[in-house]
Structure 1
Amino acid sequence: MNYARMVIEKEAPEEYGYDRIRYNLSESSIADQKLSDIGLSLPDLTLFYGEHRGDKELRALIAAQDEGISPDDVLVTAGAAGALFIISTSLLSERDHLVVVRPNYATSIETPKAIGCAISYADLDFDEGFAIDVARVAAAVRPNTRLISVTCPHNPTGTMMARSDLDALVALAESRNCHLLVDETYRDLSYGKRLPSAASLSPSAISVSSLSKAFGIPGIRIGWLVTRNAELQERFLAAKEQIGICGSVIDESIARGMLERRDAFLAALLPDMARRRDIVQAWIDREKLVDWVRPEGGVVGFPRLNVDAGFDLDRFYINLLERHGTYVGPGHWFDMPKRFFRVGFGWPKEAELRGGLDAISAALRA
């Protein structure tokens, strides 16, 4: 493994220093929750080794979200990042090939790069609404393709594929004897009809999610992967055991409590996130130098700056941060041009969101 630090992590706000940022629009989750915010307190737990697959009741709560999924199909991991690492290192080698839809979550690209496998990209296009092109994905598949990697709702654009596209990707993986990986971290933050978990549709599909983004508790590092392929599940379990044996019983207890409150939590959250999305939309409607594809899920969007070729993008980002105290996720975090940036509208307070958007407008004209 030839590890290299991911740019998105090197430049993360926690690395730069939260105290140096006034308007943090770079985060890709809802606001961080306290135990008291979600009505939880820590019980007097015995701190033993937990179940290797993850707490049985927690896995049952995860499985209950989709028909056709059982607790035995679920493996609890150290966040979605841990799930993605296990999947890549279990399925890919230097002899294998990956097809990844880009832009994508950095771990989905950087871990395969560290492994040394061949990678083909199916790039999304702003002018096509960042819509996935299944034919473009199919054309990239090779005889040694082991994995097709997508996210839905998409990070960083917030777009969603149609059910027909999801079905087509599942059929593609089945016909080419490879696996479809769908990062579904934002699925609970779908503003329209929520797609089924890909893993519920076929043993060739693997679903990944977590409690970090949609539930605002990244500090407990709880994610999961789901597959109905028993042989593959056993291989993933072996990887988890070799990395860390099991998860934290404290983290899994908190996660169980959160998912027991899932429906009520999301019922209160979704209208607020939709309203915040509308705040960004209203700003973009009056800001002629910025455009976006309106997100259909999640709490991020990926606007494009409508500036000429001579515009100094590096100076723009420096001024935005140093003079206006505003931090966004520049396009290079996602192997995209710097005229794109990720804006998070779920994490900041409403006044901070509005202040950050106004700061972007000011920095564009500095």
Structure 2
Amino acid sequence: MRYVRMPIEVESPEEYGYGRIRYNLSESSVADRSVAGLGLTIPDLTLLYGEHRGGGELRRLIAETSGGVVADDVLVTVGAAGALFIIATALLGADDHLVVVRPNYATNLETPRAIGCAVTHVELDFESGFRIDPQAIAAAVTSKTRIISVTCPHNPTGTMLSAVELGELVALAKARGCYLLVDETYRDLSFDGPLPLAASLGEHVISVASLSKAYGVPGIRIGWIITRDTALQERFLAAKEQISICGSVIDEWVGEQILTRRDELLTPTLTEMRRRRDRVTEWIAGEDLLDWVAPSGGVVCFPRMRSEPRGGTDAFYKRLLEEHGCYVGPGHWFELPDTYFRLGYGWPTAEELEGGLQAISAALRG
């Protein structure tokens, strides 16, 4: 493995220092929750080795809230990042080939590079609405392709596949004898309702998700892999056992409480995120220096500058942070030009979001 630190992590707000940022619009989740804010009192848990697959009740709740699968199809992991690492290292080697869409969440790109497998990026472009084109995916598949990797809802653009397009990808992967990996981390934040769980559509389909983004609990590190292929599930379990054996019993207990109250927590979150998307839509409509593709899910969008700002993009980001205290995710986090940036509208308070939007407009004009 040839590990290289990813820009999105090197330049993350937690590395830069939250206290140095006034308007943090770089985050990709809803606001972080606290134990007290969730109304939880952690009981006197025995800090033992837990079930290697993840606690039975937690896996049952994940399966129940996902739909179309059972608890035995679920492997609990250390966040979605841990899930993606397990899948890549379990299925890809130097002689294999991966087809992955770009831009993308950095781990979906960097871990395969560290493994040394061949990678074909299917570029999603602004002009087509960042649409994932099944025909473009099909053209990239070779006899050595092991995995087709997509995200839905997409990070960083917030766009989504249609049910028909998802079905086409499921059929394509089956016909070409490879796995379809769908990163569904934002599935619970699909504004017009979620697509069917991808893993429920075939044994060759793998779903990945977590509690981090939609529920505001990235600190408990609860993610999961779902596959109906029992042999593949055992391989992923073997990987997990060699990495961490099991998960944290405290984290898993908190995860159970959250999923037990899923609708109570998620319904107001979706209402608020739709309202915030509408506010960003209104701002973009009045901002003649930016263009965007409106998101259909998640809490991020990916605006594009219509032209280079005064002094260039480096000067823009410097002004934005140093003069206005606002932080966004520049395009190079996603291997695109810095005329793009990821704007997260779910994490800041409503007042901070408003301040951040005005800061971006001011910094664009110098």
> TM-score normalised by the shorter chain: which range applies?
over 0.9
Aligned residue number for residue 177 of structure 2: 177
- Per the TM alignment, residue 67 of structure 1 is displaced from its structure 2 partner at its CA by 3.9
Aligned residue number for residue 270 of structure 2: 270
CA distance in 2, matches of 1:198, 1:311: 45
Aligned residue number for residue 102 of structure 1: 102
Aligned residue number for residue 354 of structure 1: 354
The answer to whether the 8 A contact 2:319-2:363 is kept is yes
Q: Which segments of structure 1 move beyond 4 Å, counting only runs of 4 or more?
A: 308-311
TM-score, with length taken from structure 2: 0.99
SS of aligned partner of 2:224: strand
Can you list the C-alpha shifts for 1:226-257, whole angstroms capped at 9, x where unaligned? 00000100000000000010000000000000
SS of aligned partner of 1:65: helix
| Structure 1 pair 317–309 and aligned structure 2 pair: CA distance change class (3 A) | closer
Can you list the C-alpha shifts for 1:297-355, whole angstroms capped at 9, x where unaligned? 00000000111498501110111111111000000000111110000000000110010
| Structure 1 pair 309–351 and aligned structure 2 pair: CA distance change class (3 A) | closer
CA distance in 2, matches of 1:152, 1:143: 25
SS of aligned partner of 1:53: coil
- Per the TM alignment, residue 264 of structure 1 is displaced from its structure 2 partner at its CA by 1.1
Aligned residue number for residue 47 of structure 1: 47
Q: Which stretch of structure 1 is more off in the superposition, 32-41 or 236-245?
A: 32-41
Is there any run of 5+ residues in structure 2 with no aligned partner, and where? none
Aligned residue number for residue 208 of structure 2: 208
- Per the TM alignment, residue 210 of structure 1 is displaced from its structure 2 partner at its CA by 0.3
Aligned residue number for residue 13 of structure 2: 13
CA distance in 1, matches of 2:320, 2:308: 18
The answer to whether the 8 A contact 2:309-2:365 is kept is no
CA distance in 2, matches of 1:38, 1:99: 40
AA in 2 matched with 1:283: W
CA distance in 2, matches of 1:68, 1:197: 7
Can you list the C-alpha shifts for 1:199-240, whole angstroms capped at 9, x where unaligned? 000001000000100000000000000000001000000000
The answer to whether the 8 A contact 1:79-1:221 is kept is yes
- Per the TM alignment, residue 193 of structure 1 is displaced from its structure 2 partner at its CA by 2.4
CA distance in 2, matches of 1:100, 1:180: 10
| 1:58 maps to 2:58 | yes
CA distance in 1, matches of 2:69, 2:331: 36
SS of aligned partner of 1:319: helix
Is there any run of 5+ residues in structure 1 with no aligned partner, and where? none
The answer to whether the 8 A contact 2:328-2:343 is kept is yes
The answer to whether the 8 A contact 1:156-1:301 is kept is yes
The answer to whether the 8 A contact 1:204-1:229 is kept is yes
The answer to whether the 8 A contact 1:66-1:200 is kept is no
The answer to whether the 8 A contact 1:145-1:178 is kept is yes
AA in 2 matched with 1:166: L
CA distance in 2, matches of 1:305, 1:163: 31
Aligned residue number for residue 133 of structure 1: 133
How many residue pairs align between the two structures?
Answer: 366
CA RMSD of superposed structures (Å): 1.0
The answer to whether the 8 A contact 1:59-1:75 is kept is yes
> Matches of residues 77-226 of structure 1 in structure 2 within 5 Å?
77-226=77-226
Can you list the C-alpha shifts for 1:259-312, whole angstroms capped at 9, x where unaligned? 000011111111101101111111101100011111100000000011149850
TM-score, with length taken from structure 1: 0.99
Aligned residue number for residue 325 of structure 1: 325
SS of aligned partner of 2:181: strand
> Matches of residues 16-35 of structure 1 in structure 2 within 5 Å?
16-35=16-35
Q: Percent identity?
A: 64
Aligned residue number for residue 257 of structure 2: 257
SS of aligned partner of 1:273: helix
- Per the TM alignment, residue 35 of structure 1 is displaced from its structure 2 partner at its CA by 1.4
The answer to whether the 8 A contact 2:63-2:70 is kept is yes
Can you list the C-alpha shifts for 1:142-183, whole angstroms capped at 9, x where unaligned? 100000110000000000110000000000110111000000
CA distance in 1, matches of 2:117, 2:269: 40
CA distance in 1, matches of 2:63, 2:239: 21
- Per the TM alignment, residue 65 of structure 1 is displaced from its structure 2 partner at its CA by 2.3
The answer to whether the 8 A contact 2:67-2:197 is kept is no
CA distance in 2, matches of 1:215, 1:68: 22
- Per the TM alignment, residue 13 of structure 1 is displaced from its structure 2 partner at its CA by 0.3
AA in 1 matched with 2:157: T
CA distance in 1, matches of 2:337, 2:186: 24
The answer to whether the 8 A contact 2:295-2:301 is kept is yes
SS of aligned partner of 1:232: helix
CA distance in 2, matches of 1:68, 1:223: 18
- Per the TM alignment, residue 39 of structure 1 is displaced from its structure 2 partner at its CA by 2.0
- Per the TM alignment, residue 68 of structure 1 is displaced from its structure 2 partner at its CA by 3.1
AA in 2 matched with 1:201: L
